[in-house]
């Protein structure tokens, strides 16, 4: 159980206990009427259900393992909280107003509960879809982001000013390249990987031939540019 949920549950418990106290410590009779008559129990039960449902939604939302998922899950808390407020208003109304038939209270509260439940389910489905899309996007962009990181490191490893300058050009070309990968780019990306590895070896070599580094860097740039053209075709 996360620390966030424990704190939230503490506030929830206080509000829930306050509601119970208000329901049962107020006078049982007013103006000769039985407080527990009419639709009192319908309102009371449905408000309790709304409280429990709101806590469940908070638990699902706050157990997110990272801030991105937590941000997406906040909609569950907002919707369930709104539903709880609406249920409190409607439930309190049927509890307080005398002589409301019990079936009327049940129907009114049931409509609010059903609306809240369907909204929460729809929100959760949307969150799951967006989350899967984000995970897929991470996989599709990992290759170029990783290559960009390696290119940035390569700039600091270059020894001569000429090598540093050409490595910077490689980095800039990769940095502004389309990050999305595709199955159709597998062969070309493999060629980029091989050629970039050769460039790294040339930069790391003791003699650090600027001529060799510049030639390999140009070949990497050409391959990255070719990849950029093919990315546009597969979109």
Tokens of 63: 């157990």
Which DSSP string do the residues of 191-209 spell out, in sequence order?
HHHHHHHHHHHHHHSSS--
Task: Report, as an integer, the average pLDDT of 56-82.
Answer: 87
119 pLDDT tier (thresholds 50, 70, 90): very high
Q: Rounded distance, CA 141 to CA 181, Å?
A: 6
Taking alpha carbons only, the member of 100, 90, 99 closest to residue 44 is 90
**What integer pLDDT is reported at residue 25 of this predicted model?**
78
Q: What is the pLDDT of residues 190-212, one digit of tens each?
A: 999 999 999 998 888 755 567 88
113 pLDDT tier (thresholds 50, 70, 90): very high
Q: For 102-174, where are the E strands, in sequence order?
A: none
Which helix (H) or strand (E) covers residue 24, if one does? helix 3-25
Q: Is pLDDT at 48 greater than 90 in this prediction?
A: yes
Q: What is the pLDDT of residues 136-162, one digit of tens each?
A: 777 778 888 999 999 999 988 888 888
Q: Is pLDDT at 31 greater than 50 in this prediction?
A: no
**What integer pLDDT is reported at residue 136 of this predicted model?**
76
Q: Rounded distance, CA 40 to CA 69, Å?
A: 39
Where do the domains of the chain lie?
A: 3-136, 158-234
Q: Are 199 and 216 in contact (CB under 8 A)?
A: yes
Q: Are 61 and 77 in contact (CB under 8 A)?
A: yes
- Does the reported pTM lie above 0.95? no
> Which has the higher per-residue pLDDT, 4 or 113?
113
**What's the burial of 234, exposed, middle or buried (CB within 10 Å: 0-12/13-18/19+)?**
exposed
**What's the burial of 24, exposed, middle or buried (CB within 10 Å: 0-12/13-18/19+)?**
exposed
Residue 159 DSSP one-character state: -
Q: Is pLDDT at 107 greater than 50 in this prediction?
A: yes
């Amino acid at each position: 159980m996360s620390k966030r949920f424990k704190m939230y549950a503490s506030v929830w418990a206080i509000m829930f206990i306050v509601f119970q106290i208000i329901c049962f410590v107020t006078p049982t009779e007013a103006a000769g009427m039985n407080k527990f008559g009419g639709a009192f129990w319908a309102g009371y039960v449905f408000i309790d259900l709304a409280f429990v449902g709101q806590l469940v939604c908070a638990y699902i939302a706050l157990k997110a393992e990272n801030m991105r998922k937590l941000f997406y899950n906040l909609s569950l808390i907002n919707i369930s909280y709104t539903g709880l407020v609406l249920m409190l208003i409607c439930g309190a109304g049927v509890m307080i107003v005398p002589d409301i038939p019990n079936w009327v209270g049940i129907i009114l509260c049931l409509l609010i509960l059903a609306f809240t439940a369907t909204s929460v389910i729809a929100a959760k489905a949307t969150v799951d879809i967006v989350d899967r899309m984000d995970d897929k996007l991470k996989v599709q962009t990992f290759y170029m982001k990783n290559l960009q990181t390696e290119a940035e490191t390569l700039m600091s490893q270059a020894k001569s000013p000429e090598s540093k300058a050409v490595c910077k050009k490689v980095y800039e070309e990769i940095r502004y390249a389309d990050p999305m990968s595709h199955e159709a780019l597998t062969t070309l990306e493999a060629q980029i990987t091989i050629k970039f590895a050769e460039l790294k070896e040339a930069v790391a070599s003791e003699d650090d031939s600027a001529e060799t580094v510049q030639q390999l860097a140009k070949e990497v740039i050409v391959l990255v540019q070719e990849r950029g053209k093919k990315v546009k075709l597969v979109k």
